[in-house]
């Protein structure tokens, strides 16, 4: 694809991503204020959702493609392994929300808008951008192991902070309600899912590259 087209589409998608995150931040603070939750606590809670962190990474990658930055951060975000990691996290975010989480609440107003953008629109937009524009050269199965670091660290953080504050971002990691054996089982399934999905992505990318090389 032409670099200008790639940058334009990346810029538009990045704008949607950052606006979505801002809307969710405003909604989170409004909801927290209504429940008497301190501003600082609400802010930390906001950044404690995998959805938010995944969308931040995706918006960052899109911004790097849009700006074509040559600094270390821009080069890192545009690497095939980084862009693909963001795709993996966003795809899983959307899948888990659609299959598990969307039925446990009924967002309204600003919550509904932010929810739709972060869980439906941005995962679809980013996956499509990755398929059409992101470089994929040099991906290996070693990257799958590296991609698991973030979900594992996130899970550990959720458990540690949950034990200290009682706040668990998702019902399947709620130790207070499920107990540690069930939560650790859920986490193992999620990490295994990430591993299988990442392995499949690398395998498909490498197979497509081999086909093109042989044609």
Q: Residue 133 contacts by C-beta under 8 Å, 6 or more apart in sequence?
A: 1, 6, 9, 10, 65
d(CA 125, CA 187): 27
pLDDT digits (tens, 9 = 90+) for 79-96: 999 999 999 999 999 999
In 76-105, which positions are buried (b, 16+ CB within 10 angstroms) versus exposed (e)? ebbbbbbbbbbbbbbbbbbebbeeebeeee
Burial class (CB in 10 A: 0-12, 13-18, 19+), 208: exposed
d(CA 169, CA 47): 10
Lookup: tokens for 27: 């909604």
Backbone φ, ψ for residue 38 (5° rounding): -60, 150
Q: What is the pLDDT of residue 68?
A: 85
Percent of the chain topping pLDDT 70: 98
Q: What is the pLDDT of residue 1?
A: 53
Q: Which stretches of the chain drop beneath a pLDDT of 50?
A: none
Residue 113 near residue 142 (C-beta atoms within 8 A): no
């Amino acid at each position: 694809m032409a670099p200008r087209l790639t940058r334009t589409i990346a810029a538009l998608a990045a704008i949607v991503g950052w606006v979505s995150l801002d809307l969710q931040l405003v909604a989170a603070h409004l909801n927290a204020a209504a429940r008497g939750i301190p501003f600082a606590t609400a802010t930390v809670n906001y950044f404690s959702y995998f959805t938010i962190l995944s969308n931040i990474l995706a918006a960052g990658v899109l911004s790097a493609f849009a700006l074509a930055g040559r600094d270390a951060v821009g080069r890192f975000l545009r690497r095939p392994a980084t862009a693909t990691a963001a795709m993996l996290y966003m795809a899983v975010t959307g899948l888990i929300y659609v299959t598990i989480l969307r039925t446990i609440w009924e967002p309204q107003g600003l919550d509904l808008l932010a929810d739709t953008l972060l869980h439906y629109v941005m995962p679809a937009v980013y996956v499509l951008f990755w398929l059409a524009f992101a470089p994929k050269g040099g991906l290996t199965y070693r990257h799958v192991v590296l991609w698991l670091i973030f979900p594992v660290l996130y899970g550990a953080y959720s458990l540690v902070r949950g034990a200290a504050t009682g706040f668990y971002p998702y019902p399947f990691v709620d130790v207070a309600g499920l107990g540690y054996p069930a939560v650790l089982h859920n986490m193992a399934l999620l990490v295994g899912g990430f591993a299988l999905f990442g392995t499949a992505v690398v395998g498909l990318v490498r197979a497509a590259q081999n086909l093109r090389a042989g044609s």
